[in-house]
Amino acid sequence: MQSIYDFKTTTLNGTPADMSEWRGKVVLIVNTASKCGFTPQYKGLEAVYEKYKDQGFAVLGFPCNQFGAQEPGNAEDIGAFCEKNFGVSFPLFEKIDVNGEQAHPLFTHLKQQAPGVLGTEGIKWNFTKFLVGKDGKVIDRFAPTTKPESLQELIEHALQA
């Protein structure tokens, strides 16, 4: 069975990244957007990242423009927006698709490991979250409406596992 460590991606600034860089960490993977009603969740994502990063936790943000064209900017625009408006310091990656034929293989894997409501794999909107354990396996999937701060108990439990 694959884990997230089997995938490669590219950072927002164009640097290749291997997901194995996060081996042994608890990771929250999120598809993000700058012009979404859930965009203020960047603040909560940054807060949980800051609180737990020194304990082996990471937030990984993957901008996506598939839902209402709410991430229209280029990499420079996205990075500047996130830093200026929300002080984002967690890693951001290149804009990707999370559904359809062009879906990034990492998200195809995440969706297979943690299907949504009634077993559907498709991601319904921006800020869907996947909590991944230290072993690289998906612990759970969370809806866009789930606030990052509400995941603290689960993050702490995963960090202690």
Q: Which residues are catalytic?
A: 36
Count CB atoms within 10 A of the CB of residue 156.
15
Hey, which bits of 14-128 come out as E strands?
16-18, 26-32, 57-63
Distances (CA, A) of 36 to 41, 67, 118: 10, 9, 25
Distances (CA, A) of 97 to 47, 56, 104, 119: 26, 28, 6, 20
Q: Which DSSP category does 136 fall into?
A: S
